[in-house]
Amino acid sequence: DQQVKQNSPSLSVQEGRISILNCDYTNSMFDYFLWYKKYPAEGPTFLISISSIKDKNEDGRFTVFLNKSAKHLSLHIVPSQPGDSAVYFCAASRYTGGGNKLTFGTGTQLKVEL
């Protein structure tokens, strides 16, 4: 049962344009969401997070949007840079009663082309 899904396994974007990565979840008990960037053979690196009490959080080039009614979140990267090429995972957790465990999505491979 995949509670967190990233339906696009890959995304290709031109340098300077906006990258939009999407994530859907099924468990309405999730109340905290995170995005991670991962290179092969390395651990994930935290990018940005959002609590369920917000619908938007911004940090530099990265913005995360949360639509609780649709159980959907997205990560916007603008402008995209070649160094952004990596696999991006969204993750969700239940702060209350969930043991703080992270449930990861399946990942989206982003390729930013020159």
Partner 1 sequence: GAVVSQHPSRVICKSGTSVKIECRSLDFQATTMFWYRQFPKQSLMLMATSNEGSKATYEQGVEKDKFLINHASLTLSTLTVTSAHPEDSSFYICSARDQAGYGYTFGSGTRLTVV
Chain residues in the site for partner 1 (CB under 8 A): 32, 34, 36, 41-46, 49, 51, 89, 93, 95, 99-107
Tell me whether residue 8 or residue 78 sits nearer to partner 1 (CB atom). Answer: 8
- The CB-of-87 to partner 1 minimum distance in angstroms stands at 9
Distance of CA 97 to the CA centre of its chain: 23
Report the C-alpha dihedral over residues 15, 48, 45, 81, rounded to 10 degrees: 10
Tell me whether residue 79 or residue 98 sits nearer to partner 1 (CB atom). Answer: 98
- The CB-of-16 to partner 1 minimum distance in angstroms stands at 28
Q: Sign of the CA dihedral 34, 3, 28, 30?
A: negative
